[in-house]
Amino acid sequence: MNSVLVVDDETMVLMLVKAALTKANFNVDTAGAGDEAIRKFNTGTYDLVITDICMPGTDGNHVVHHIRKSTKHTTPVVGISGTPWLLNNTEFDTVLPKPFTIKSLLDTAKSLTNQASDC
């Protein structure tokens, strides 16, 4: 089972993304802030990170930059945001603008983790 770290400062988004990914047989861990995500990433093992871009404090741009500088730099990272124009680097594997569909979320997660699709 693929392990995913989902990062967003909006609790409702975390709950919805976690529910969708869990139903699709992903093991999901969550973080409500960028600094928490970095701590979890440093100590955990994840096949995919999905992070909001615009968050107070440590934002998604900093999270992906940290990942790319780490020993686990090949971990795929998806940026999600209602403000994708704030994306200031090319370190994300892809970006899903909010609002996104559950189908696009699952298709992206399955593609980046090489998980077989149900279709």
Condensed to tens digits (0 to 9), the pLDDT of residues 18-67 reads 999 999 999 999 999 999 999 999 999 999 999 999 999 999 999 999 99
Place of tokens 């988004």: 13
What is the reported pLDDT for 119? 41
CATH of the domain at 37: 3.40.50.2300
Domain count, the chain: 1
Averaged confidence pLDDT in the chain: 93
pTM of the complete model? 0.94
Helices (H) and strands (E) in the chain, counts: 4, 5
Rounded (10°) angle between helices 34-43 and 60-69 = 20
The whole domain housing 35 covers 3-97
Cβ proximity of 99 and 69 under 8 Å: no
Q: Is residue 44 part of a domain?
A: yes
Instruction: Evaluate the omega torsion of the peptide bond into residue 99 and state whether it is cis, within 30 degrees of 0.
Output: yes
